[in-house]
Structure 1
């Protein structure tokens, strides 16, 4: 088992990573349980893991109740968020009631936002069950919901008390969802660790086959990178924005195509290739580097070509990106593989040239 510590300005918390971790759940999470616990999951994850967690909570002697939500990115909205508030109110949850998020990134983001806002702040624990949520969204305290005009535009920075990552939960993850998570794993290597990128290229088959030691190393490395970046910049005023490599383009794809039609990781994969193309336009990256990344993403069955959209749609969605500052769009680009930077020097001509073959 790996244990990492995330040290932010608001507070510190552990990340537990390992296989068969449920056996140690009571011991590891006992310091973070309160007398009453709200266990939030969805209709897909609950039948797989809810009973195991109920057994754990029964054994620990804590009072708990469940809130089960519909599954899917399209439900990451105010209406579904209100179902969480309804469940908390109906079960007389207090400010000290612990909210536990059992599921992928959508559940983690919504349960975290509910925790941040219910009675102005309740404790919560992240129990991510997808690769994408384990390596990225469960760590760092970003919570929120989508708006029809933009992804994650409504939310709060609110850190969990602990993150509990049992790698065994990936055994029930559909192959498409596992591939989507690999987009974020590869993103970390591309933006800041060329040695990790080389390691991924050498171990990609073992990762696809979920060999325990290889998988644990990959998840640990991503969480360590995320923890280091969040410690340096908790609320994304600087270096944390680098974690959005590929996301400006990717969020535009998700919003235009309809949330859930392209999985987040699929949109990030195509968006990362567009970020590479833009980096080429700016004179940073060589096309051979882009091709290298295309090969790696293709090996895990991720799309490397975005859908056709009008230039107006691309620009409209990207103008709502959270990195926009003083009306100027900012992009994460690559000086080289393993070294990302943020620039506001991207012109409409640069974008048109980058998107030219993907404009309908």
Structure 2
């Protein structure tokens, strides 16, 4: 697969890293001065986090090619992901340029976080191939991608986009109705507006509001989501009892939802509050912390087969199923086989910085799986009714 990226800011760089981790070739472009250098630095910074979740054989940042023009990217790509800034007129112009060059069967996806695809595809020669593929930052770790089409988008284009995103280890969520803001951002926006009101009215600081999520609802949301959590709040009778008991509170004027004016005082309060929270930690430091805890959370969820942990489990299953080397009758093995390699994860190390026995067993088990596949004992072997147990 040759994956095309048009626009290499934070989101475009995230797409680039994820596609490279899949073992694909990536061709990217951005007209901004210094864009190539910034993209390669961003990929290098993100690569360690991507590697912790697992990268496919042959995956390497050197498989990134930076092109001088949009036309060069589009002419050689099998799938194009546009990630230019969120201005409708700009995006429309970019899609017109892509549409003029790309083969008719190449699907073109936009990373837009809220624009209507029907507006973006209006006037294109091949409007049926335009889809929205809205990811979440950091794209190289978070699996969610909202997928929707416009009034002229073909079902085959949507199916193709979903297949590509699944191949990238993501969770494509089909948005069935074309609506501004899609799903997740509309939910986040409601909370964001209320945060602005609470800070503007002097009720709480940015740090206190973050703590109100970190130590309670945020932990619940990762594994179940709001609706299932509220279903539990209703006890044995579930959501019906919850709504009957707490529904009247919805009539109370607790929340405002409409955003307050972004006055200088409010902007200063938000900036000062988040600066105080960050302390002396740089953006790069905060990104590393974010990536590390996201990886830890997804691994924890994997053990319970819920949420993003389920997506991670499927990704790892595919990774362990990849076998580049195969033994054939008559092959000589002059040296010890090196069939499996992985980094030593922090949780594998005990208090005196030694790898634990259980971690050795885990790594040995994965290496044994590779050995079985090397000698032909794989999924096809078992599907044929054979067994080595």
Higher relative contact order (CA 8 A, sep 6+): 1
Bigger strand share: 1
Give the alignment's TM-score, normalised by structure 2.
0.29
Computing the radius of gyration from Cα coordinates, the structure with the larger value is: 2
